[in-house]
Chain A
Amino acid sequence: MMNNILLVARREIRQILAMKSFWLTLLILPLALALGPILGETLDDNEPTRVVVVDRSGGAAAAALEARFAEDDDRDVLRSLSRYVQRYELESADPAAPWTQHDRWYTAADIDAFRASGGVEAALKSIDAVRPEGVPEFEPDAREYTFLPVPDELIGQDGEAFADVAQTLFDSDAEDAPEVIVRVGENYPADPRIGLYSANQPRSSFVTALQETLTGDLRTRLLAERGISGAEAAAIQAAAPAIEVTTPPPGDGAREALLVRSIVPLALAYILMMSLMLSGSWMLQGSVEERSNKLLESLLACIWPEELMYGKLLGGLSVGLLMIAVWAGCAGIAAYATQGVIADMIRPALEPVSSPVIILAILYFFIAGYILISAIFVAIGAMVDSMSEAQGYLMPVLLAILLPITFLLQAILAGKEGLLVQVLTWVPLWTPFAVLARLGMGIETWVLVGTGILLAAAIALELVFLGRLFRASLLASGQRLSIKRLIERFSAQKQ
């Protein structure tokens, strides 16, 4: 029996490997993975938002705004520099510098000190002196906002005319056309109204910063009016708690850690889903060909229907595993080639799936999932006479499988393990996906064992019933398949 199963499986594999669609699919994923970051970088908007501040109150408000956004930008640079230094343990570059102290929120004083010591250029010079070979260079993120001089068109404009000119400027194709215009009136702060004109919906972070800065400016002026000196007013405004920040090292801990730890398990669940859909459709195509080419009778004269079905399942499983091996190989090569950030991500990502028990569990649920779903495809293939007829059965089956999985993966990405996740874990149709996806979050051993046993029982039962359906359907071509006939076939013993 085994010999015939292997022969059928080998033929299935050869048939699928001879399909152009197989090779296209096999290459599409690595290509997409390779091109994704390149395209992402191309599509990423790294250009800072161009801002014009028309300050007719004397220029103090505009200066305050520019100073605030410059401070924010420098804080971002300090923060990312600090994480870079922490990741590659480069604190020896300058132990006293704020960017080698990772445990606090950077205050204005830190930023001043950073600027006074020469900013990012000086910091990078110090880092380069101690940076070991192989550690990538630090690349600061682009600044979020850039402030442009007031365009001539806006000078002297007021009211609706100002708005019209602003709109004209927004509509212009010029590279230096403003995207945001802030108008501070002549009577500011007596008249505290601020006009904000934006080409697109303004970012809330921008509006918040604007609000905070001008509020501070207003309050400083009001304090000064009440006899408090400018320096004292500024000190009051600058009073802020010193926040100590404790964050996990890069790629570890809390939410970031959860995501990183779930990367491999979620990818496994995705890959299982993708390769199943692909190899399932090829298996279906093979079954339909056997029926439509009327070669089943020749086959059934030599082998049992069960051998044919198991051979097909084994063939499909082998192709699926081959695809996954190729994809995993490509991912490994990509990780080795890029090292750096990806390697840093992969190390903690592989942690939850590196114990022998978990590796065994992955293999078990992966293979079991493959058999469970592939058997449905093979049975559909045995029931229909054409691919178009197959589509009719395939759509509801695919929806029933895929929709809950989509919700499941989203729930796990959001770090939730609610009722939906629990239910899907215990329903055999979705068990392999749920268990694989949950491995990163940690899954109790008893759940792993319990779902594994339930899944094995479900597959055994499925193979019995789908085996009957397969056998009863093989030679029943041209029959209209009613529910009654389907039930008869499910319960059919050998005719």
Chain B
Amino acid sequence: MAILEVSNLVKRFDDILAVDDLSFSVAPGEIFGFLGGNGAGKTTTLRMVLDIIRPTSGTISVLGGAPDRRQAGAIGFLPEERGLYSGMSAIDTIVYFGRLKGMNFGLAKSRGMELLERFDLADRAKSDIGDMSKGMAQKVQLATSLVNDPELLMLDEPFSGLDPVNQGLLENEILRASERGAAVIFSTHVMQHAERLCDRLLLLRKGRKRFEGTLEQARAQLPVSLIAVSRHDPSTIPGVASARPNGAADDGWQEWDVKLDPGVAPGSVLEHCTANGIGLRRWDERHASLHDVFVELVGGEGVEQ
């Protein structure tokens, strides 16, 4: 059973359609990437899942019920805009959020200390947030979302503002949560994190879903391109969408930039060449990256490699 199930979700702010007929689900242990440019509706969707705002129409099922603060104990949330009480110590902050999620003081404190140790911040447990570096404060905030061992972990742009070391730490925490069976949903602009972590992805553009599936399925959305060196013009081969000569021919051998039709496997084209005696000196396949898919489906705005 899915931990999070969203069906035909619509959210309208006056004249602006922020989320348009969105449906998806996230299963336990699954890492789900929520990708989209600025204003795509990612944060609005997450806020609706958290019951911070209400949908215009559609349904959301969180842990088998409608969104409700009573489920806060099973949810971990890291917002895009981060901040904590500057005058509160790290451990007090984690305990405070743990208690707001229904934990008792002792458990919240012991879990908080475990997390601070894991994040190499145990010696700063009693330091005020205001006295910490930005990176340290961000780790404390991550700890506030993990303190209750959530069944549903939602991270809104979690990698933004983190240095490479802390990005690695965050990736580990996402994998750790997934391994213990939590459903993890995170939004990001950084494609490499999504490629490394996500079991499934959803691409959102102007509130509307453009794609949902695995990384392989996402890549398959774009035709494969390849570089071939042949005396024969590949554009006449079935399954080839286009072939453009690249540079001058050498003794009749020409380098070609070849684009296949969508859904055509490069192997079938290679097989056709072999069967029809078309000589090939080079055959380099180039599969689409998630970045390419993102740019193609969502547009280049706001994407990072």
Query: Which residues in A have some Cβ–Cβ distance to B below 8 Å?
Result: 4, 7, 11, 15, 18, 289-290, 292-295, 297-304, 475, 494-495
Contacts and interface: CB of A to CB of B under 8 A. Distances in A.
Contacts of A494: 53-54
Contacts of A304: 69
B72 A295 contact: no
Contact of A297 (B79, B97, B99): B79
A301 B75 contact: yes
Contact of A301 (B52, B81, B83, B85): B52
Interface of B: 13, 47, 50, 52-54, 69, 72, 75, 77-79, 81-88, 96-97, 99-101, 141, 144-145
A495 B99 CA distance: 27
Contact of A294 (B81, B99, B100): B81
Given A7-B99, A302-B72, A303-B69, A295 B52 contact: no
A294 B79 contact: yes
Given A301-B75, A301-B77, A304-B69, A295 B100 contact: no
A295 B75 contact: no
A300 B47 CA distance: 9
Contacts of B83: 292-295, 298
A491 to B, nearest CB: 14
Given A4-B100, A7-B96, A301 B84 contact: no
Contacts of B99: 7
A475 B53 CA distance: 10
Q: What are the 6 tightest A-B residue pairs by CB atom distance, in nearest-first order? A: A293-B83, A294-B83, A294-B81, A297-B79, A302-B100, A301-B77
A227 B52 CA distance: 106
A289 B52 contact: no
B69 A293 contact: no
Contact of B72 (A18, A301, A475): A301
Contacts of B87: 15, 18
A478 to B, nearest CB: 11
Nearest to A293: B83
B85 A299 contact: no
A303 B72 contact: yes
Given A294-B82, A297-B47, 8 more contacts: A7-B96, A292-B83, A293-B83, A295-B83, A298-B78, A298-B141, A302-B100, A302-B101
A299 B145 CA distance: 11
Given A7-B100, A293-B84, A293-B85, A302 B54 contact: no
Nearest to A298: B79
Contacts, number: 68
Contact of B52 (A7, A11, A294, A475): A475
A292 B82 CA distance: 10
A30 B218 CA distance: 72
Nearest to B43: A297
A294 B79 CA distance: 9
22 contacts: A4-B100, A11-B85, A11-B96, A15-B87, A289-B85, A293-B83, A293-B85, A295-B84, A297-B81, A298-B77, A298-B78, A298-B84, A298-B97, A300-B52, A301-B72, A301-B79, A302-B100, A302-B101, A303-B100, A475-B47, A475-B52, A495-B54
B156 to A, nearest CB: 8
A495 B75 contact: no
B79 A302 contact: no
Contacts of A15: 85, 87-88
Nearest to A8: B100
A300 B69 CA distance: 9
Given A303-B69, A304-B69, A297 B85 contact: no
A295 B93 CA distance: 11
A495 B54 CA distance: 5
Nearest to A299: B100
A294 B138 CA distance: 12
A15 B86 CA distance: 10
Contact of A302 (B53, B69, B84, B85): B69
A294 B160 CA distance: 15
A43 to B, nearest CB: 41
A425 to B, nearest CB: 41
A475 B85 CA distance: 17
A165 B112 CA distance: 86
A298 B78 CA distance: 7
Contacts of B84: 293, 295, 298
B52 A297 contact: yes
A297 B53 CA distance: 11
Contacts of B100: 4, 7, 299, 302-303
Contact of A300 (B13, B50, B86): B50
B141 A289 contact: no
A289 B96 CA distance: 17
Contacts of A299: 100
A490 to B, nearest CB: 17
Contacts of A300: 50, 52
Counting chain B CB atoms within 10 Å of each CB, the highest count among A4, A293, A297, A300 belongs to A297
Contacts of B141: 298
